Amino acid sequence: MRVFKFGGASVKDAKAVKNVTKVLQKTGFSNLVVIASAMGKTTNALEKVVELYVEKNPKLKNSIEDIYTYHREILNELFENKEHPIFKKIIGLFLDLETTLDRNKSKQYDFIYDQVVSYGEIISTTIISEYLNHQGYENEWLDARDFIKTDNAYRDAEVHWEITLQRIKNKVNKNTLSVTQGFIGSDQNNFTTTLGREGSDYTAGIFAYCLGADSVSIWKDVPGVLNGDPRVFKNTQLLSHVSYEEAIELAFYGASVIHPKTIQPLQRKEIPLYVKSFVNPSGKGTSVKKGQPLDPYLPCYIVKKNQILLSLSSLDFSFIVEDNISEIFNLFHQYHIKVDLIQNSAISFSVCLDDRFDHFDELLTKLKSRFRVTYNKEVSLYTVRHFTNEAIASLEKNRDILLKQITRETYQMVVKD
């Protein structure tokens, strides 16, 4: 059996949803679990809803209405018969969303975030599932929250594997077509949790692992994994094969085409992952499986924008040693700030940080009481795996480099944007 994942771009409008059917017509409708993200940029729009709600901004109602209108237009194009029950179903989900906000008593931002933002996936999969039924492709809509059980670290939940495995193994029909949501799960008290932005790929990895699937395919707006993000780098080339280890490295350094947590569960059961184009489903795409690191063997370019370069030295110019470093890392952990690169000298300690949840300013106050602090916001971290001298030379040209670091296979530099 197979697991397919369709991301936001692949279901961004009615034409795209129709294209999902076309892809499935080519690949078959049975022995399949389809995992879908929220449509287009809906998650960003719902993040805005949470912000407006928390700040009690009167624009809240409008922001929800805009999201409704966007989905309503998609429905209008997909279903000619305006009496079709899907119209009422979607209105019902938007009413539920409003009720959730009205009744909420929690002040915890991340909790509210997950209860709200998850509607994006619930709404999109409801539409996709109904559309497939309408086209004659009978399928079962599954609520991923009944299957993916997590802790209650809202916005970045950890999967509880044992119970998730039992639920998926026992309750998902391997022979038919199921449609479910990426990105979301639920905690012990059945409150909704999310697995981190872009986490739908990870959901595909979880379902595939638990079902012992034969393969996972993620359908993208690119021909497969390229040796750089085509939106950033020129003349990128398709990698036809990438090993699990190499894919983990590329995703870890920020190649956003695959969510970093996706690969490990697949590697454990040696389930191949195919990254393919939803525009050209017969294209070769990329296979991620056991074997050579890369084919063709090329330098791979990755950029992470909007990073922070932070340098610390002690107030008395003493050395930054292990106990300072462990204190600093504890703080990063506490504030959910991700460390992407570390460089240490006798009296100064530098890190490139990804402040995903906007906690840096709070952290800064803490650090300033203990260290001499300098930092640059909005820097970019470039990584080249399997670098060549030419690759580095062309990347460094005309750049204001703040820091660089080279190890055997990996070149990294932090630059001002």
Contact residues toward Mg ion (CB under 5 A) are: 7, 198
Name which of ligand ADP, ligand ASP, Mg ion, none residue 220 binds, using a CB cut-off of 5 to 8 Å depending on partner kind.
ligand ADP
SS3 content of the chain, % helix, strand, coil (to 5): 40, 25, 35
Q: Which range of residues in 82-90, 156-164, 197-205, 305-313 is near ligand ASP by CB under 6 A? A: 197-205
Pick 119 or 131: Cβ nearer ligand ASP: 119
CA distances to 76, 78, 87 from 81, in Å: 9, 9, 10
What are the angstrom distances between the C-alpha of 102 and each of 7, 87, 99, 343? 30, 23, 5, 48
- What is the nearest approach in angstroms of ligand ASP to the Cβ of residue 340? 19
The residue within the footprint of ligand ASP, chosen from 37, 118, 262, 277 (CB under 6 A), is 37
Q: Taking CB positions, which residue lies at the least distance from ligand ADP?
A: 7
Cα(112)–Cα(323) distance, rounded to whole angstroms?
A: 36
Closest contact distance (angstroms) between CB of 38 and ligand ASP is: 4
Q: Which residues bind ligand ADP (CB under 6 A)?
A: 7-10, 37, 198, 220-222, 225-226, 228-231, 255-257
Cα separation, 125 vs 234, in Å, equals 35
Strands 215-220 and 184-186: unpaired
Instruction: State the minimum distance, in angstroms, from the CB of residue 412 to ligand ADP.
Output: 16
- Picked from ligand ASP, Mg ion, ligand ADP, none, the partner binding residue 223 (CB below 5 to 8 A depending on kind) is none
Q: Which does 120 bind (CB under 5 to 8 A by kind): Mg ion, ligand ASP, ligand ADP, none?
A: ligand ASP
3-state secondary structure of 116: helix
**Range list of H helices, 263-399:** 263-268, 322-334, 360-368, 389-396
Instruction: Answer left, alpha or beta for residue 260, where phi above 0 means left and psi between -120 and 50 means alpha.
Output: alpha
Tally of CA atoms within 13 A in the half-sphere of 276 that contains its CB: 21
Rounded to a whole number of angstroms, the minimum distance from the CB of residue 198 to ligand ASP is 4
Contact between 40 and ligand ASP per CB under 6 A: no
Residue 260: CB atoms within 10 A of its CB come to 20
**200 binding ligand ASP? (CB under 6 A):** yes
- Measured from the CB atom, the residue of 41 and 84 that comes closer to ligand ADP is 41
What DSSP line would sit under 172-215, residue for residue?
Answer: S-SSSEEEEESSEEE-TT--EEE--TTTHHHHHHHHHHHHT-SE
Compute the least distance from the CB of residue 312 to ligand ADP, in Å.
31
| Least distance CB 214 / ligand ADP (angstroms) | 21
Interface contacts to ligand ASP, rule CB under 6 A:
7-8, 37-38, 43, 120, 182-183, 197-200
